[in-house]
């Protein structure tokens, strides 16, 4: 998880509102992931209770880690993995990419190998590309595409 957070700036980010009336995004150079582990063998409802509390807790965009991971040992060789995140940092499309990266790196590290991970493109590259797009052309394209 530390590797994932170090590679992806969005996972080291918080969002503040009310800074001179504007939202402000802060990307930290270093931020530890939120990780929780508990052995819950013999407590069959412990994971469900944790999930309910985690959902109720929500996220404070200005100070919380916006991705949380919890691992529960539920048996001699069984575990439950709970991965919570705010939609502002991840969506369903990128979740599979992140999951592949986490477990791919995990398997490599278990085998005492260096994980082979694709280079990360900074979000700023996308913003720069977006700023160079013709807004009128994009509006025309989507209006035509969604007509009817």
The backbone torsions φ and ψ at residue 80, rounded to the nearest 5 degrees and listed phi first, read -120, 135
Whether 44 contacts 9, CB under 8 Å:
no
| 11-20, 39-48, 67-76, 78-87: range with lowest mean pLDDT | 11-20
pLDDT in tens, 9-62: 999 999 998 778 888 999 999 999 999 999 999 998 999 999 999 999 999 999
Output the average pLDDT for the chain: 93
CA distance 90 to 87: 5
pTM: 0.80
- Look at residue 132 in the predicted model and tell me its pLDDT: 92
The phi and psi torsions of 120 (rounded to 5 degrees) equal: -95, 130
- Please, which pLDDT band fits residue 138 given cuts at 50, 70 and 90? very high
Residue with tokens 């001179």: 20
Q: Going from the N-terminus, what domains does the chain have, and what CATH number goes with each?
A: 2-120 (3.30.559.10)
For 126, list phi and psi in degrees, rounded to 5: -65, -45
């Amino acid at each position: 998880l530390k590797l994932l957070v170090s590679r992806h700036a969005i996972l080291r980010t918080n969002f503040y509102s009310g800074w001179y009336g504007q939202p402000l995004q802060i990307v930290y150079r270093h931020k530890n992931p939120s990780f929780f582990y508990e052995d819950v063998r013999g407590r069959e409802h412990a994971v469900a209770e944790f999930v309910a509390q985690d959902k109720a807790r929500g996220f404070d965009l200005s100070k919380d880690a916006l991705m949380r991971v919890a691992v529960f040992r539920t048996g001699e060789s069984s575990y439950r993995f709970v991965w919570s995140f705010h939609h502002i940092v991840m969506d369903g499309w990128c979740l599979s990419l992140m999951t592949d990266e986490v477990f791919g790196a995990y398997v490599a590290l278990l085998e005492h190998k260096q994980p082979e991970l694709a280079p990360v493109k900074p979000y700023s590259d996308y913003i720069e590309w977006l700023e160079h797009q013709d807004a009128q052309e994009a509006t025309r394209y989507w209006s035509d595409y969604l007509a009817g």
